[in-house]
Chains A and B, each alone.
Chain A
Amino acid sequence: MTPSARLRAEALSVSFAQTQILNDLTIDIPAGEITVIVGPNACGKSTFLRSLARLQKPSGGQVFLDGKSIHQQPSRSVAQQLAILPQSPSAPEGLTVFDLVTRGRTPHQSALRQWSLQDKSAVEQALDLTGMGHHANRRLESLSGGQRQRAWIAMALAQETDILLLDEPTTYLDLPHQIELLSLITSLNQKTGQTVAMVLHDINLAARFASHMIALRAGDVFVKGSPARVVTRQNMEQVFGLSCQIIADPVHGTPHVIPE
């Protein structure tokens, strides 16, 4: 086990009915880094992320948070250390950004302590970091796609956890907004040292923003490591069945996939 990993899957298997989704998967999520999980459709990326966040019960193996099985820890104390933003999250109609971000405080609150000074400062800081302070009183449905996604990220940040899991946070965003959101996540990671693990579809964006990558194929880890190690011609061929050339991104130097 990498000494700096707080979140670890060990021999993790998940199956729905007869279908095996994840297959005996053992892997660490390195602390303080941005890990991006990639893989073809239906390779189990989302299931893997949901399992890491104890939203999916494994059929075999375990997920460890700080060396203890995540399913045996109280859900509330897990939520104080790990936040997850599921794919296309939904909120009740008419909810304001401020109210949504306040929901992120749930694991630190109770029925009698619903709005402490710490809650207030955490919510304000989350709005600030995501640049949503001006929009705090707007209704969620009145926001653009990019703003809405930032509001959701603000909710996860208000949870003040060391680990942040994001399931396809760039879905439905156009390219400029995807870049904006991923830059935001990178700068947050640099500012707070938060461990980030996210699922992304776009290999080129993944290679540019990740410090660590995991490529899944058919429910198993095919390769992991730095973007330069994962995004190679051979790996793309074997993971995605995509024949391609890899060039160095002329601006950032990260590997860039050119499909043939």
Chain B
Amino acid sequence: MSWPLRLPFLSLSLSFRATIVGLLLLAIVLTCSLLALSLGSYPIPAAQFVPILFGSGSDIEGMILRDHRLPRILTALGAGASFGLSGAMFQTMMRNPLASPDVIGFNAGASCGALVAIIFTGGNVLFGALLGAVLTACLVVGLAWNKGLQPSRLILIGIGIGFACAAFADLLLSRTDARTAADMANWLVGTLNARDWSDVKIVWTGVLILSPAIFWLHFPLARLSLSDDLASGLGLGLSPLRLIITGLGIILAALAVCTAGPLPFVAFAAGPIARSLLPSGKPILLGAAAIGALVVLGADTAARMVPLIQLPAGVFTALIGGPVMVWLLLVQFRKGKL
């Protein structure tokens, strides 16, 4: 079932199920965000949010809400959405759920870049993460290129390069003093501890600037899921499209990594989960963004709720993502794709 939407400048066919799923996901994200805002070692009832934010609560409540929880939650949502978008883009483009930036080493590259930036320049994490992700992507794609890009080659080489990046990150850790190394190790698992408004600004500015491109991508991505010959036959320019998608995916992954650390499995799991909720052939980018945001928010809230030890959120995203990966591998095995 679908509704046609026809305006002078826009015509779409809105799938009934996709629209309902989209609205439900949005409602769940909002509810969970409010819940996360009130939960914590100092619980604040939701009814008091508005008065506190407008300055009528105690100083401590204002500080917890405004300076700690709100930026942390907004960063979690932004980073999760970016991971989800980036993963779904690569997976759809390569027609393989294993081709997500955390599996094929792009996230590891981004975190190496960020570590180098932190340790040696003490400066721009975003720039470092971006550069690390781009260099790793060039290396992986360059090595995997053999008259075109075959998903299986890309995935295997990506996994290898990812391990190499992880080893390089370990090397960097071993060369720094114990205190920095402990912080870095925490960061490398992926954490949202002590995020402030500057992180919110980075990730959300990036997402907002890219949002027209993301909206536009829905159209070609839905067609790239057909085979190469079919997509070219329908008039799509495959090489330029792949370049654009790879570029966007890398920027989004780098944005997420530099604000939340290389949280494992979020980019990987968001797309397939969204896919299983939405009808086949319908665009999944926004669904994947919502799922990614939910997973990171849930993981970070769970991490905050464990008292005393500050667990990194990455521990929890791995708990969610691991089973999803096993499930996908089994499905692919059964289909004879692996």
Contacts and interface: CB of A to CB of B under 8 A. Distances in A.
A110 B233 contact: no
Contact of A99 (B227, B230, B281): B281
Contacts of B234: 79, 103-104, 106-107, 159
B91 to A, nearest CB: 11
B4 A115 contact: yes
B233 A114 contact: no
Interface string B233-256: 111110000000000000000000
Contacts of A113: 10-11
Of the four ranges (under 10, 10 to 19, 20 to 34, 35 or more), the interface on chain B belongs to 20 to 34
Given A109-B219, A115-B4, A79 B233 contact: yes
A50 B235 CA distance: 14
B232 A96 contact: no
A3 interface: no
B13 interface: yes
A1 interface: no
Given A94-B281, A109-B219, A114-B219, A89 B235 contact: no
Contact of A55 (B10, B216, B232): B232
Contacts, number: 93
Given A86-B230, A110-B219, A115-B13, A75 B235 contact: yes
Nearest to A165: B233
B233 A83 contact: yes
A168 to B, nearest CB: 13
Nearest to A50: B229
Interface string A55-95: 10000000000000000001111111001111001111111
Contacts of B327: none
B60 to A, nearest CB: 49
B175 interface: no
B243 to A, nearest CB: 15
A116 interface: yes
B233 A90 contact: no
Interface string A7-27: 000000000000000000000
A111 B215 contact: yes
B219 A84 contact: no
Interface string B261-281: 000000000000000000111
A85 B229 CA distance: 8
B171 to A, nearest CB: 41
Nearest to A53: B233
B47 interface: no
Interface string A104-125: 1011011111111101100000
Interface in B63-84: none
A84 B281 CA distance: 21
B334 interface: no
Interface of A: 50, 53-55, 74-80, 83-86, 89-96, 99-100, 102-104, 106-107, 109-117, 119-120, 139, 159
